[in-house]
Structure 1
Amino acid sequence: METQKIRVMWFVPPLLALVASQDAQATAIGAERNRSSDQQFDALVAGDVDAVVTSMDNVIGWNRRAGPRDFRVVAQIERTTPLTVVARPQLRNLQDLRGANLLVDAPDNGFVVALRAMLRDAGIESDSVRLTPAGGVKERFDALVAGQGDATLLGPPFDSMAQAAGLAYIASVQDIYADFPGQGIVVRQGGEANTGVAAWLRALERARRRVSGNAEVARQAVLAAGFPGAVADAMIAQNPDSLRPTTAGVALLIAHRRSLGLAGADNDYSTIVDDSMMEQYTGGQQ
């Protein structure tokens, strides 16, 4: 019997996917690193991929674009996505970013919404900064190091790489918003390959439990993928208690949009999350 294979896009290979890849029962995946969330959107619309790993806020933005509007988060793959504002060395705090050129993935959806909320809470109005689309986390790191902007939002391993390159640590999203959620697995509802995605989620759940019980197994999987030990430890620290997207995290995403006056503040958990795939393998017990 031919093994079912699903196609996935992500910015950085997530821990649970690395651990699940060692599982002989796991659904085979064809994984591709993407350069931006817009590339993920286009690939899902075209049917070129079956799932993407991305900011859960993207579902809110994507469902308001011209197109299918049937995107849903089906799992949360990490406890939180550690995000750090990193800037040119002479910039020291959020107030210093007034008038700055900020490198972002997209100006109105994704992690930029948390960045904009941080700036608002620091008293910096949206029209006081410039948002320049520069792609995914690696692309933003490369652009910032090359001097093409003043600051950006980075996650592991690029946040530590940026500081090692002499760039300044400004602030952490998690220090300000403790409920900020991790990345989600996003699909289109009713997709033909969603049976395969559900099987992959079962493998990810087995991986999540393995990581909880044996961190060294997870560490070796990350090291084998070419990441340094510090990145492995950071990933393991974000192993979620459940693959079910947290209600507090989703509520925070909606609250950020509401406070910024962005479209999508009328969403609720059910318009962002479809947990029916998880029901298939947990029987409602998570």
Structure 2
Amino acid sequence: MKCKSLPPLVSAIAAVAAGIVVFVHGSPLAQESNLTTLMVGGGSFTTSIAQSNGMFAKYGLRIELPRSAAGGSEEVRRWLASGELDLADYGVDNAIAMVENAGVDVILVAATDYTPTELMAQSEIKSLADLRGKTVLVDAPNTQNALALKKILSTAGLNPGSDYQMKEAGGTTARVAAMLKHKEYAATMASGQTAVRARQAGLVSLAATSSIFGPVLRYGVFTRRQWAKENSNLLVRYLAAHIEAQRWIMDPANKNKVIDIVAQQGKLSRDLAGGIYEMDTGPNGLAKDAAIDVARFSNVLKFRAEVEGSWGGKAPAPDRYYDVSYYEKALAMVNANALK
């Protein structure tokens, strides 16, 4: 199934937000006519590895990630709802927001990572209290990052609107770039390679979600329930490649290769890339075999209920938002292939 293109957007097969190299239309891979194209929102390091190592191609797929200049959650939600995207590998709270705020029947089908998100601030900001009267950047006012920011600042008695202003400024990479260019933008949420590069550029970390909410599921694969039903074979093949990429990254035998890729693509020293590798392969990094950790996902619902007052302040059971049947088929496929 080949979705329509989205000019004047750039189509990529790697995650810009994760600092991954981007390939545009016209690459040799994009000319392979025997592959089925899937349009994916967001993207992750796993997406990049699955593409560059031929895992998507192995399952007959080619992946494109349409993006505007700024990117961001509203963009991914809108395109997924309209059918311009087939699925997303993105912040899982966006799936919840699509169900609850937009009435779009979306399901989480696999996990990607548990990486904590950090509140990054200008170097002169020494404490949360110093953000009073300042402007902070978000991708949208009701996403996982924005909710985390609100919760963190509430611990210092700060409330949006009265104590600080939130300004929408696109995806994580775009927000950090805006902060580095405009000192009046005091803080934003960032994680992984983007947070590392932000620190290298002089920004400072004031807090992390892990210390506020406990362990949460950050990124995952989600799609419209109807699309999943109508394209179950494509979805299972996509998830099989996703699982294989997670396994490849987390295999200790590939450690040096992964560190080299992170260093090269993120333009980081090998020491910093090694630290990212340890984080990604640790308990709060990539999800093992891309399996959904229901407890971590439940924490996402809990903090949305607490911060936004959703569901009357009491989080619902998480099973209404995810479906593991496609993942289970993909895992069986991967395990069967591993025995050949």
Q: TM-score, normalised by structure 2?
A: 0.74
Cross-structure match for 1:2:
34
User: Equivalent of 1:105, from 139, 154, 158?
Assistant: 139
What is the CA RMSD across the aligned residues, in angstroms? 2.7
Query: For 2:236, what is the secondary structure of its paired residue?
Result: helix
Corresponding residue number in structure 1 for 2:179: 144
| Structure-to-structure mapping, 1:107-126, within 5 angstroms | 107-126=141-160
TM-score by length of structure 1 reads 0.87
Distance 1:84 1:257, change over 3 A: same
Select between 275-284 and 180-189 the one with higher mean Cα deviation. Answer: 275-284
Structure 1 residues 225 and 51: CA distance shift in structure 2, 3 A: farther
Compute the displacement of 1:107 (Å).
Answer: 0.7
Q: Is the 8 Å Cα contact of residues 115 and 286 (structure 2) preserved in structure 1?
A: no
Alignment partners' CA distance in 2, 1:96 and 1:248: 34
- In the alignment, the residues of structure 1 paired with residue 334 and residue 150 of structure 2 have an alpha-carbon distance, to the nearest angstrom, of 36
Query: Structure 1 or 2: larger helix share?
Result: 2
1:251 pairs, out of 278, 295, 298, with: 298
Check conservation: 2:136, 2:165, Cα contact below 8 A. Answer: yes
Is 1:271 aligned to 2:320, yes or no? yes
1:178 aligns with 2:214: yes
What are the residue-to-residue correspondences of 1:182-193 with 2, within 5 Å?
A: 182-191=218-227, 192-193=230-231
Q: Contact conserved, 1:92 with 1:169, CA < 8 A, in 2? A: no
**What runs of 5+ residues in structure 2 fail to find an aligned partner?**
1-32, 336-340
Which residue of 112, 115, 122 corresponds with 1:81?
Answer: 115
- Partner deviation per Cα, 1:196-250 (whole Å, 9 max, x = no partner): 2321110111122222223234334445656534347515432322312212211
Question: Once the 2 structures are TM-superposed, how far is the Cα of residue 99 of structure 1 from its aligned partner?
Answer: 2.8
Paired with 1:178 and 1:285, the residues of 2 have a C-alpha distance of 31
CA distance in 1, matches of 2:316, 2:63: 31
SS class of match (1:147): coil
Q: Is the 8 A contact 1:81 1:155 kept in 2?
A: yes
Q: Give SS of 2:328's match.
A: helix
Aligned to 1:201: 239
Query: Partner residue of 1:242?
Result: 289
Among 69, 76, 85, the alignment partner of 1:40 is 76
Quick check: 1:44–1:51 contact (8 Å CA) kept in 2? yes
Find the residue that maps to 2:289 and give its secondary structure.
coil
| Alignment deviations for residues 46-96 of structure 1 (CA, whole Å, 9 cap, x no partner) | 2111111221111221112345x2112111112x13322111222112222
In the alignment, the residues of structure 1 paired with residue 153 and residue 141 of structure 2 have an alpha-carbon distance, to the nearest angstrom, of: 14
Mapped partners of 1:53, 1:247: distance in 2: 17
Between Structure 1 and Structure 2, whose CA radius of gyration is higher?
Answer: 2
Q: Compared with structure 1, are the counterparts of its residues 195 and 111 closer, same or farther at alpha carbon in structure 2 (3 Å cutoff)?
A: farther
Contact 1:7 1:50 in 2 (8 A): yes
| Conserved 8 A contact 1:5-1:30 | yes
Please give the residue correspondences for 1:56-75 in structure 2 after superposition, counting only pairs within 5 Å: 56-67=92-103, 69-75=104-110
Q: Secondary structure at the match of 1:65?
A: helix
Aligned residue for 1:125, secondary structure, equals coil
The offset of 1:42, in angstroms, is: 1.4
Q: Deviations over 1:5-54 (max 9, x none)?
A: 211121xx522222212135142212234511111011112211111122
